[in-house]
Amino acid sequence: MTTPGSVSSLEIPRLAADASDHRVCEAITEAGCCVIERAVDPDIMDAAATEMAPYTAHTPRGTSDFAGSGTRRTGLVVGRSPTFRTHLARHRAVLAAGSHILGHATSWKLSFAHYFELFPGEPDQLLHRDTWKYGAPPFPVEVDLNALWAVSDFTETNGATRVVPGSHLWADDRRPEPGDAVAAVAPKGSVLLYTGLVFHGGGHNTSGDVRLAINAQYAAGWLCPTEQLLLEYPPAVVADWDDDLIRLIGYQPSGPALGHWRNAEDPFTAVKEYRNANPHDQG
């Protein structure tokens, strides 16, 4: 029996791929995180890795302790990986968790999607809350949800993300003690979901293998996205993508007066205009 706040007072909830949306939301409410085992077929992860492989060689490794000199983070995943667009960005469990955690906002969006390679020897990353990136006073609500897809197995030795279950409920000044973090071991095809307030960090890769992941972050629509997705994916690029995905990357207003385009129009209008002007461009 553990007491609140004691070391490892919670485990990371582990759910099966067919777990109900309700169960996913319940786990995240309680622990701030969960692993959905084999949420997609491992072949889908191989396909995503193959799509990203041509781009990684030119990606510089991290240049800070936080970014890690043994980590490469390759961007433009939404554009470069049709598999991400089709199978991961709008995965059923991710959307359910997103609506549950971020549904307080008028809209919520994809904020970032990068391909992570964690090389042998990379040490533990500082345990952190992703909301620190906003450099703002604490928000009264959760504003971020992460989906970290296991593109390779996540193991105790290859740097599985360490997570502190339940830490989303901690006071702002509380910090993890040694031993609070639990490795989110997960077979290829699994997804680790965690909110912006959950302490977590990449693990120490003591193996000889590269740990592969796709990190997709979703955020309340009223925040500045982590990545300039509309600059990366202008209307000509997204014209033949699924409408819901196009909205998810930011072609939608937020609240009564944010995120408009031109004469206070819905930015999706820009995609419609492109399609009308270029009817032969689409798939």
Ligand X SMILES: O=C(O)CCC(=O)C(=O)O
CB of residue 160 to ligand X, shortest distance in Å: 7
Instruction: Give 89 or 213: the residue with its C-beta nearer to Fe ion.
Output: 213
CB of residue 200 to Fe ion, shortest distance in Å: 6
267 binds ligand X (CB under 6 A): no
Both structure tokens of 196: 């912006």
CB of residue 190 to ligand X, shortest distance in Å: 13
144 binds Fe ion (CB under 5 A): no
Stretch 132-171: interaction string toward ligand X, x if CB under 6 A: -----------------------------x----------
- Residue 116 interface partner, choices ligand X, Fe ion, none, CB cut-off 5-8 Å depending on type: ligand X
122 binds ligand X (CB under 6 A): no
φ, ψ for residue 11 (rounded to 5)? Answer: -95, 165
Q: Which CA distances in Å does 236 have to 166, 245, 256, 283?
A: 43, 15, 27, 12
CB of residue 10 to ligand X, shortest distance in Å: 19
Q: Residue 212: helix, strand or coil by DSSP?
A: strand
Which residues, numbered 113-142, are part of the site for Fe ion (CB under 5 A)?
130
Residue type, 20: S
Using only the alpha carbons of the chain, give its radius of gyration: 19
Both structure tokens of 74: 């390759």
CA distance 197 to 170: 8
Kindly report the number of other CB atoms within 10 A of residue 231's CB atom.
8
221 binds ligand X (CB under 6 A): no
CB of residue 35 to Fe ion, shortest distance in Å: 16
Whether residue 190 contacts residue 39, with contact meaning beta carbons closer than 8 Å, is answered with: yes
Single out the residue of 98, 202, 250, 259 in contact with ligand X (rule: CB under 6 A): 202
Q: Residue 120: helix, strand or coil by DSSP?
A: coil
Q: Which residues bind ligand X (CB under 6 A)?
A: 116, 118, 125, 130, 161, 200-202, 213
Binding region for Fe ion (CB under 5 A): 130
